[in-house]
Structure 1
Amino acid sequence: MNRWRIRLWLGASWVLAGSAPPLPTYAAGPTALAIEGADVFDAIDGRTRRETVLVRGDRITAVGEHVAVPPGTRIVDATGLTLTPGLFDLHTHWTSAGVPATVPAIATAYLKSGVTTVNDFNEAPEAYAPLRAWLTGLAAPHVRFAARISTVGGHGADWADQATTRWITTAEDGRAAVSAALPYRPDLIKAFTDGWRYGMSPDNTSMNEDALAAVASAAHDAGLKVFTHTVTVQRGLIAARAHVDALAHILQDSVLTPTEVEEIHRSGMGEVPTLAVYDPDKPGPLSSKAPQQVAQRHEKFANALRNVKLLHDAGVPIGVGTDAGMPGTPHGPSTLHELALLVRAGLTPAEALTAATATSARLAGIAADRGTIAVGQRADLDLFQDNPATDISAVHHLVAVIEDGRLIWGMDAPPLPDANRQDHRPATPAQLLIDDFERSDGRTSLDTLRTVAADRGPDRSIVVATIIPDDAGHHILSIQAEMSQKKAPYAGIVLPLSRGAIDPVDAHRWAGVRFMVRGSACPARITLDQAALPSLEAPFTVQDRWQTVNVPFSTFHGSPAHGRPDTLAGNGSDLTAIGLGGACTAGSPFWMQIGQVRFY
């Protein structure tokens, strides 16, 4: 039979001895593996045992001390190593504002940390399909996308639009929001239920209990789990009564009482603490260094640690998530930091490792598929130099990652695909017509979902965009808005150039963007979103009569006022979306009508 003989050299380097043929490339099908000599972590009882694990295809087919290895099986000699299930991170945000900032780099960071399954709470449903297509060409963890639901003025509704985060108030709204998400095949629902802003800023709105219960019921009817942004004890109890599956943060405004702990335990709801994002001593700049706020952060974190221990000791399932993508919470290493913080909270290393594997799989509703090393489970596996079940710091000494039965990182795994080193997918040629507003289904001429845009924050400009007929029998887009009470309000629309504005288009063969416009005589701008680069913008003038505006690509530059360097200039390459809108005086009405948006 073919054999891999992989041995530790000088305590750090791995060399291959023997005559095994090279592994197939990442895109090729999985092979048969036998991992021999490892101390295998049992994520159910928390023990490790010296066993052989046999993998065929993407499944584990045998586990035991005496396993017959079929001829032709590649053998990994893992003597002295510890084998665990692949790690989970149940709370991440794959955002360009995080570290790293691109999909391939984020995927790579997770694999290099041994994380093979994540929940992404950041995406608009329109982006699921193109992101799933992109991920199939990468070495990447299994990414599960959450449909986002919040309240008017709620956390999570303070940016983007209702195509990204649905806003609800009533039970009827909640059921409709879940129903609207289902055609996109979300993997779970994320509900933003708690408006508390940690005593650091004015609170957002919170979700009514009947609305949350309706969301949970509709999601469960569709076979989906519900995780919630919930950070206060009373809102946690509401979530428990509403049959939420797991809280996506730890409760931290106060220490739980025994009665409150028992109510949560009795509900069956789980807890994903995300201690990593709240760690007051994590690297990176603080939002405030004022002594009072620094003291508040430490006080709330002490509550968080205490509540994790109380809930765990009561039998509440504890999973692992980080809120990675938020400031000071990088993708990949934060998952490992979370395990250390769970141990600091009072879990044993083995319990923390179980939280990151079997328990996280159970909370995600996929325990039948992965999360343990057992026959029939998905072969997502990590090999560590030492045993993290006895010393959690061993998670930082990862030797190899096996995903879907393939060695994809470490040892003599094949190089990661070239796509893992690219910032974005290859651009396709742009089409001339972007939107003539003749479709009645809310989509552009490119079959992308047109959305409204507004300034960020809990107090946002109110924007309504509708298609209306013009005098010639064609159609135009009419934008009506009331500007918010802030220094730089904004109202407009976004025209994605591809589904979800994920795949870029190349428009450099054109000179720029042309459109018809009339409206309020307010400062107006057109924005070009670019793949893996800051967006660019250019001003244009609006009058109350129709005019055709040509905006050459050469006039687009970054805006320092919006955190984008003005040295960036546009050339029409790698575009993902176009925005059109204006900024009138705070509190004032605004209108704009737009027709025939195209390149020229």
Structure 2
Amino acid sequence: MFVTTMIIATMTFAQAPKPVIIRNVTPLDAHSGVMATQDVLIVDGRIASMGQGLAAPSSATLIDGTGSFLSPGLWDMHVHLSYDDRFTGVMSKLFLDYGITSVRDTGGKLERLLPVLDAHYTPPAKAPRVFFAGPLLDGAPLVYGGDQDSGIGQSVVTTEEARLRVQQLHKAGVHFIKIYEMVTPDVFDAFVREADKLGLPIAAHVPLSMLASNAAPRVQSLEHLRNVEMDCAADAEALLEERREMLAGGRENDSDGMSLRRSIHTVQRNRAIANEDADRCDRVLASLRNTIQVPTARLNAMTQHPPFNDAGWTDVLSTLPASVRVDWIKAADYMDPESYRKQGEWTLQMLPRLVASDVTIGAGTDTPIGWAVPGYSLHRELEILVKAGLDTQTALAAATLVPAQFFGLEATLGKVAEGYRADLLLLQQNPLEDIRHSRSIRAVISRGAIVRDYREEQ
């Protein structure tokens, strides 16, 4: 995966966290599986040592881990922290409450996002690690533009603009860049070359003017599996030409980008799914092997797995701001269950095919878009991945090891091992036995500090 010299996103503590010793706990992760029951000592935000009968500083906080499991903290690889102002004050708490200790913000105007991060990282605030991309780097017409939807997109139409924009974002401190669907192939190429030069990983949607098999090998992650289905069609080249003509017409007529994209998807997506060429699709999947796929299955398969059918959905909504509760309690009334049925079915049957083709899966939710409760929705994503055919180890890796690999941080994050950063969950049950056990949280440790201790509430 992409190796970068970026600095890990950190939160400044008023003082260094106290040492923590967890006695008689069973560590587990997606790399080593379930390990022997032992003690785990955390000092200065890292796992200092693991073993039997460890000595600990007298100042250490003691946790009795008897009968419990110690897992790496979870990631959500696809979030938008500044998309909806109603979530600004609660998002960090929700993430940590559900054991999400790192997130990848995949699109937000820096003018809106940076103040949110400042508030999250000002002591005594507690927040997950945040790795951010800045705005969606899009073409014309712009999909997310103006004041709508937080104006998270930015139009870039020349290769020189692309080069300069990546340089500006690098100077602004972004951890990666995000390429969107309306970019032209030459601008896409300019983004990639400049990001490579500066050591920035790239997350992307497949541009509508390109084939997935041409775009995927040049970026480090693809989002939503969107537009992959058009490359799997028997008439993929004809569909590509049709898209390019529609895009050119949209630019000439100064069309609304959101409407134009919707029109292209309406014309082509279900048609492509119905006309899949299995051999061609196998070749497309092979082209994805060095690129993490973040399918956001809970979003794509909303028809098959609507969140408002979950037991306890009303209780989950009670954790949200009142304005959101009033809106989201009506979610079932807003959704047209047939609109995305085919795309949902395609996503769910594609997931095991991706794994069989040695394609790496990452876990992301697009929260708060599409009734995605921050934190809660990551657990739903993992459960949907497993229902679709992934094993529990692959699913856990998707929310621990894989996100760290995207940033070249797999030597410090994503495992329970000596020297690793202490982002950890104390669980009542083993998620490698049943992925639903990822919800059985007893305590959350972020950067070596206990940020939520459910034992005190029992």
Query: What TM-score do the two structures reach when normalised by structure 1?
Result: 0.57
Query: Which residue is equivalent to 1:480?
Result: none
Q: Does 1:87 find its partner at 2:74?
A: yes
Q: Is the 8 A contact 2:184 2:209 kept in 1?
A: no
Note the residue ranges of structure 2 that are not aligned, 5 or more in a row.
1-12, 230-268, 309-330
Distance 1:321 1:302 in 2: 18
Q: Which amino acid is 2:401 matched to?
A: A
Q: Is the 8 A contact 1:35 1:78 kept in 2?
A: yes
Q: Does 1:212 find its partner at 2:188?
A: yes
- Report how far residue 27 of structure 1 moved: 4.0
Q: Is the 8 A contact 1:324 1:331 kept in 2?
A: yes
| Cα 1:275/1:123, change in 2 over 3 Å | same
SS at match of 1:179: helix
SS at match of 2:134: strand
SS at match of 1:305: helix
- Report how far residue 68 of structure 1 moved: 4.2
* Structure exhibiting the larger radius of gyration computed from Cα positions: 1
Distance 1:232 1:298 in 2: 21
SS at match of 1:401: strand
Distance 1:46 1:318 in 2: 18
Q: Is the 8 A contact 2:180 2:205 kept in 1?
A: yes
Residues 528-547 of structure 1: matches in 2 within 5 Å? Answer: none
Distance 1:157 1:230 in 2: 19
- Report how far residue 30 of structure 1 moved: 0.6
| Cα 1:47/1:298, change in 2 over 3 Å | farther
Q: Is the 8 A contact 2:183 2:207 kept in 1?
A: no
Distance 1:339 1:139 in 2: 24
Query: Which residue is equivalent to 2:385?
Result: 342
Q: Which amino acid is 1:264 matched to?
A: L
- Report how far residue 250 of structure 1 moved: 2.1
Match of 2:332 among 285, 291, 308: 285
Residues 192-203 of structure 1: matches in 2 within 5 Å? Answer: 192-193=180-181
- Report how far residue 72 of structure 1 moved: 4.0
Q: Does 1:322 find its partner at 2:365?
A: yes
Distance 2:225 2:32 in 1: 25
| Cα 1:413/1:94, change in 2 over 3 Å | farther
- Report how far residue 385 of structure 1 moved: 1.0
- Report how far residue 302 of structure 1 moved: 1.4
| Larger strand share, 1 or 2 | 1
Q: Which amino acid is 1:245 matched to?
A: Q
Query: Which residue is equivalent to 1:156?
Result: 144
Match of 1:311 among 351, 354, 360: 354
| Larger helix share, 1 or 2 | 2
Residues 62-101 of structure 1: matches in 2 within 5 Å? Answer: 62-65=49-52, 67-95=54-82, 97=84, 101=86
Distance 1:231 1:41 in 2: 39
Q: Is the 8 A contact 2:442 2:455 kept in 1?
A: no
Distance 2:368 2:106 in 1: 10
Query: Which residue is equivalent to 2:292?
Result: 270
| Cα 1:116/1:127, change in 2 over 3 Å | same
Q: Which amino acid is 1:357 matched to?
A: T
- Report how far residue 364 of structure 1 moved: 3.3
Q: Is the 8 A contact 1:318 1:360 kept in 2?
A: no
Query: Which residue is equivalent to 1:22?
Result: none
Name the Cα RMSD after superposition.
2.7
| Cα 1:158/1:65, change in 2 over 3 Å | farther
| Cα 1:66/1:307, change in 2 over 3 Å | farther
- Report how far residue 380 of structure 1 moved: 0.4
- Report how far residue 115 of structure 1 moved: 0.1
Match of 1:228 among 194, 197, 204: 204
| Cα 1:181/1:234, change in 2 over 3 Å | closer
Distance 1:299 1:92 in 2: 24
Q: Is the 8 A contact 2:83 2:149 kept in 1?
A: no
- Report how far residue 41 of structure 1 moved: 1.0
Query: Which residue is equivalent to 1:54?
Result: 41
Q: Deviations over 1:356-388 (max 9, x none)?
A: 101121123332331111222110001111111
Q: Deviations over 1:313-342 (max 9, x none)?
A: 222221111001113212111111000011
Query: What TM-score do the two structures reach when normalised by structure 2?
Result: 0.74
Q: Which amino acid is 1:246 matched to?
A: S
- Report how far residue 86 of structure 1 moved: 0.5
- Report how far residue 121 of structure 1 moved: 2.8
Q: Which amino acid is 2:50 matched to?
A: V
Match of 1:362 among 402, 405, 414: 405
Q: Is the 8 A contact 2:47 2:418 kept in 1?
A: yes
Q: Does 1:113 find its partner at 2:90?
A: no
Query: Which residue is equivalent to 2:6?
Result: none
Distance 1:45 1:233 in 2: 42
Distance 2:48 2:107 in 1: 35
Q: Which amino acid is 2:93 matched to?
A: T
Q: Is the 8 A contact 2:108 2:150 kept in 1?
A: no
